[in-house]
Every structure is written in C-alpha cells, then in structure tokens.
Amino acid sequence: MSRVLSEQEKFRREALKELHKRGIDPFPPEAFERTTNAKEIKERFDSHPAEFEEVKIAGRLMSRRIMGKASFAEIQDQSGRIQVYFNRDEICEGEDKSLYNDVFKKLLDIGDIIGIEGKVFKTQVGETSVEVKSFKLLSKALRPLPIVKTDKEGQAHDAFNDPEQRYRQRYVDLIVNPQVRDTFIKRTKVINSMREFFNSKGYLEVETPILQPIPGGAAARPFITHHNSLNTDLYLRIANELYLKRLIVGGYEGVYEFAKDFRNEGMDRTHNPEFTVMEIYVAYKDYNWMMDFTEELLEKVSTDVLGTSEVQFQDNKINFKAPYRRVPIFDAIKEFTGHDLTDKNEDEIRDICKELKVEVDDSMGRGKLIDEVFGEYCEKHFIQPTFITDYPIEMSPLCKKHRENPNLTERFELMVNGKEVANAYTELNDPIDQLERFQEQLKLSEKGDDEAMFIDQDFVRALEYGMPPTSGMGIGIDRLVMFLTNNVSIQEVLFFPQMKPEAKKVELTDSEKVILEILKGESEIELHELKEKAGLSNKQWDKGMKGLNQKSLAKVEVEGEKKKVVLLN
C-alpha cells in the first residue's frame, strides 16, 4: 500500500506526469558537464568578466521569485548559492512561450536539480547573477524542502532545527543548513591534516581487525556478535591498540590507524556507540617525545582547519599553540583538593574520598579511586590544553612503569576544556610485566569490575619476541572536531548519529480491520448496520472509518435518507 501523499507531494507528482507528457525526462541519464560553480562565479566575475560570457552550472533550485515575464531564482551547488535570472523572451525565442510559462513556472519546484547555460551579469542591485539562455531539468524533487530564509543580518528564519528530523534526515539538514555542511568539511580537513602530518614523517597508515576474538586495548563493554561458519563469538573492537603494537613487534617503526571503535554503553552528548579514534605508535620514542609530537600535531591541525591556533569554544577561547602545560596527576589532585595521595594506600584513599564526598564502592581499586577524585575535583579546571601525566599503575595496565617511581606509569592524557582528548603511553614492552598486569585486571574483574581488561595471551606472546621501546597515542577524533567546530554535541559531528529506529506505521489499525472484515462479507452495507455489527466505541468507529476513507478502502455514499458504506477495489 502506498503512502498517503500530502497536497504538495501530489502537485509535484502531477508535474512529473505533465513533464513526461511533454517529452521531458525528469530523470535524464546523460552527464551534464559544468564549466564553473557558484563560488567561482561570485569570486572571479568582477576581476575576470570575460571568462563568464558562457557558463554551464548545475545545482538545486533553492528559491524562486516569479514576476510576470521575468524571474529570479537561486541555484545551490556544493560551493554555495548563485542567483539566476530567467527572462521569458530569452528562453523562448519564438511565439511559443510554454517553456517559461509552463515548464519553468509550473512544472519546476524548489528542490529540483537543474542545469543552466547562460551568461554572468550584475543586476541593478549589484548581485552577481547568471542570465539563463537555456535550462534543463536534471532531477525532479518529489518532496518539498523546508524553506530557510536568511536576512541581511544573517538571521535565519524558520530554520530547520528539530534535532530528531535533522539527524534522521541528515540529507535534508545538509541541503538547507550550510553551517552543517561546513562542520563536516572541517571534520574531513582535520583527518586530512593529521594524515598529512603522519605521512610526512614516514609513518604507515594501516588497517586492523574490527571483529576481534578478544576485545582488548581498553576498558569498556563490547558489542558481541557471532560468526556462523567459524561458529565463534566475536566482538566489535573497543580499541585497536594491541593490534597496532603487534605491528611494531613485526618491525614497522611507525603505524597509525583512523579507527571506528564500538562501545556498548550509555549515549549522551559526548558518547555515541560507534566513534572514531586515531591511534599512532612510534618505535624508539617515549611519552615525553609524544607530548612534543602531540602539541605540534594539534597546532598544525587547528591552523590547517581554521587558519589559527585560537579556537572559540562556547565561552572559552582555547589556544592550541604549543607548548602545553604538563602536570602530574598527583600534583593536580593536591592543587585542587589539598590532599597528597602519592604514598597513600587504597584504604587511606578510600577514606579521603569519603571526606571529599566522592562516591565510591568496594569494587573500586586504588587506581579507580584516584581517577574518581581527579574527575570530580580537577578535570574541569583544565580549559587550555594540558598534559596530565604519571598516572598510578593500577589505572594503566598497558603502560610502562615510570622510570623514577614504580607505582606510577609513563602515561599522559591531554585535557582540553575539561575533557580528555588524547591518551598516550610509553608502551609496556616487558612481556612478564604485561602478563602480571593482565592478571591484576583479572582480579579486579573477579572483584566485580565489569570492565577490567581481558587477558590476551597472543599479545603477550608477541611481546615475548621483543617489541622495541615505543610510545603510542590515541586521539578522540569526534571530540577534537567538536572543539574545532564549537559543537557541544557529538551528534553534530557525526553524519548519522545512532538513533532508535522510527516507529513503523501500521498498515491497518485494529478498528479499521474490524470494519473491513464486515465489509468484505457484504461489499456494501447501510451505515448504521455496519456500525452496530462492528460493535466499536464511538471514538474507535470514527477513527476507523476516517482511516479507511483516507486509505481509499471504503467510502460512504449518501442516497437521500440512506447512507451506505461501499468497499472500494
């Protein structure tokens, strides 16, 4: 059964039929070669008018102002919008004016994609425009677009801004909201800039498995799936760290991957179940080098994407210019709570947590407790990019022990605007230590920590062959893009954020089914008799009949006093 069409959709489908009747293919197959685009015309026409005597452009019709024998319209292509001018007698040279009066004025609609041949000129008001010599319909739009108008002050009127519709129909969002299109261009630029930086250093971009038998490299709940012919459960990766390090073992000295990771956890404005992380591992380096490298990288990315290292994010101005402050985590905690946790054991820290009113439970180990205190009291203060370093060993099972203090690790997290953006280690390459750390995780898991890491025996085996000293770093791409595009919601930087499926419309409601069943037996029946037989409440009866009428399945016919219900087709 076909969808009930709105009035505007019906008009467009009628236009479609009329076009066919006139021999105009509304979806022609052949290519339309363009000579320029909206942006180029606007930027270059003033200085190089000769280049624009004959142009071919194409795009979506976004507005029309029709005035008798002449009209203005706007065409939008990827580069932007340009005004076009339709003059009846220019388009229709002879007596037959139907191309203008009928095809342009009546059979084209906003949203249609058209190609135009013409000449660039300036209107009396000074707007660079294309005078149309001929036009061709390239694709008909059967649904009306939301119309967003922008006034001289740049204020949008009637903006298409319902988040649910914008995310579910991102294609519409992209058509009508240029700032959204821009955000995603910046996202691509971020990735390109990073890739360029890594490649210039000779590092190798690689791909590692998304389906993993052991979900390693991070602490998170995984998605689980099943491979039929192997008859094995597999996990969607929560991280790719252990695979990239295997490649370092294999002899590559710098590898990186832009990876989609998947975590089966809550969703909010900073978490989507699938998200993008860039991880890089470089042999013969440590975390001090990696801090220098990260600063340099982010300054470059910001400059490449925005032209400046200064970024306005909400109420804060963030400066990505290197170097960044480096603060050991215990110093940070001491600064904001007054407590020095350096030499405190688990029980002592638990008491301090209670004193600080940090919520704790018994499954939390020393590392997690410290993390809670940091998260509660310190994180939010680090607005400008800051490296928090030297995390306690319990928090970092894949990270090498600190060269000066065996209770600490050589780890840093980069905080920006109070949020973690990057995470890096001097990688643990001692296989015996690694196995012990995995076993510690196992104990945590037995204690009730449902996200403690699994033991990956093959990874330990790889380390036993010897991994060079290595430093690795991961950057949350989505979060970085949020900062660089001033978006507080991760959904604004993902083309298609995860959502529950739209509810399927039922073909027939229960009341409709009841009425239809009776009708099928009778093919036509008096109204009051049918109503009696159906035995529905007034409300259900009304809704049912209204629905059937709308779906063109039944009709009420009036003959004098009598009202009959007739079954259609």
Partner RNA sequence: GACUUGCUAGCUCAGCUGGUAGAGCACAUCCCUUUUAAGGAUGGGGUCCUGGGUUCGAACCCCAGGCAAGUCACCA
> Which residues, 358 to 387, sit near RNA by CB under 7 A?
359, 371, 374-375, 379
State the minimum distance, in angstroms, from the CB of residue 88 to RNA.
7
183: contact with RNA by CB under 7 A? no
Q: Which neighbouring-strand residues pair with 472?
A: 281, 425
502: contact with RNA by CB under 7 A? yes
With vertex at residue 398, the alpha carbon angle to CA 393 and CA 400, rounded to the nearest 5 degrees, is 60
Pairing type for strands 113-122 and 411-416 reads unpaired
How many other C-beta atoms can be found within 10 angstroms of the C-beta atom of residue 151? 8
**Alpha helix (H) residue ranges in 358-465:** 366-377, 431-447, 457-464
Query: Residue 64 is encoded by which pair of tokens?
Result: 């029309």
SS3 content of the chain, % helix, strand, coil (to 5): 40, 25, 35
Task: Name every residue whose Cβ is closer than 8 Å to that of residue 355 and which is 6 or more positions away in sequence.
Answer: none
State the minimum distance, in angstroms, from the CB of residue 115 to RNA.
20
* Residue whose token pair is 């760290």: 241
SS3 395: helix
274: contact with RNA by CB under 7 A? no
1: contact with RNA by CB under 7 A? no
For RNA, the closer CB: 275 or 281: 275
For RNA, the closer CB: 271 or 563: 271
- Report CA torsion sign: 87, 90, 96, 98: negative
491: contact with RNA by CB under 7 A? yes
**Which of 13, 22, 65, 325 touches RNA by CB under 7 A?**
65
**Which of 54, 89, 205, 436 touches RNA by CB under 7 A?**
89
**Which of 16, 24, 159, 174 touches RNA by CB under 7 A?**
159
**Which of 218, 280, 463, 484 touches RNA by CB under 7 A?**
218
Task: Single out the segment in contact with RNA by CB under 7 A; choices: 154-162, 193-201, 252-260, 337-345.
Answer: 154-162
**Which of 191, 220, 455, 527 touches RNA by CB under 7 A?**
220
228: contact with RNA by CB under 7 A? no
State the minimum distance, in angstroms, from the CB of residue 22 to RNA.
15
With contacts defined by CB under 7 A, how many residues of the chain interact with RNA? 88
**Which of 24, 91, 110, 206 touches RNA by CB under 7 A?**
110
State the minimum distance, in angstroms, from the CB of residue 145 to RNA.
7
Distance CA 453, CA 221 (A): 10
Q: Which parts of 66-85 interact with RNA (CB under 7 A)?
A: 66-70, 72, 83, 85
State the minimum distance, in angstroms, from the CB of residue 506 to RNA.
7
Distance CA 235, CA 217 (A): 13
State the minimum distance, in angstroms, from the CB of residue 12 to RNA.
8
Q: Which parts of 427-466 interact with RNA (CB under 7 A)?
A: 451
Binding track over 300-339 against RNA, x by CB under 7 A:
----------------------------------------
For RNA, the closer CB: 199 or 552: 552
For RNA, the closer CB: 59 or 497: 497
Beta-strand runs (E) in 123-243: 128-139, 149-150, 156-157, 204-205, 211-212, 224-227, 232-236
For RNA, the closer CB: 387 or 467: 387
For RNA, the closer CB: 175 or 463: 175
Q: Which parts of 537-566 interact with RNA (CB under 7 A)?
A: 537-540, 543, 546-547, 550
The string of DSSP letters for 245-282 reads HHHHHTT-SEEEEEEEEE--S--BTTB-SEEEEEEEEE
Max distance between CA atoms of the chain, in angstroms, equals 101
State the minimum distance, in angstroms, from the CB of residue 317 to RNA.
21
Distance CA 239, CA 453 (A): 12
**What is the separation of C-alpha 278 from the centre of its chain, rounded to a whole number of angstroms?**
16
CA dihedral 179, 185, 191, 196 (to 10 degrees): -130
Q: Which parts of 509-528 interact with RNA (CB under 7 A)?
A: 509-511
Task: Single out the segment in contact with RNA by CB under 7 A; choices: 26-34, 262-270, 338-346, 553-561.
Answer: 262-270
32: contact with RNA by CB under 7 A? no
Query: Residue 170 is encoded by which pair of tokens?
Result: 């991102």
Distance CA 569, CA 553 (A): 7
**Which of 193, 302, 423, 470 touches RNA by CB under 7 A?**
423
Q: Which neighbouring-strand residues pair with 268?
A: 271
263: contact with RNA by CB under 7 A? yes
For RNA, the closer CB: 125 or 230: 125
Task: Single out the segment in contact with RNA by CB under 7 A; choices: 147-155, 403-411, 464-472, 518-526.
Answer: 147-155
Distance CA 421, CA 476 (A): 6
- Report residue 266: phi and psi, to 5°: -60, 155
Q: Residue 110 in contact with residue 147, Cβ under 8 Å?
A: yes
For RNA, the closer CB: 155 or 228: 155
Please, what's the b/e burial string for 253-262 (b: 16 or more CB within 10 A of its CB; e: otherwise)?
bbbbbbbebb
Q: Residue 440 in contact with residue 342, Cβ under 8 Å?
A: no
**Which of 35, 78, 98, 150 touches RNA by CB under 7 A?**
150
For RNA, the closer CB: 210 or 306: 210
Distance CA 569, CA 520 (A): 11
Q: Which parts of 467-486 interact with RNA (CB under 7 A)?
A: 476
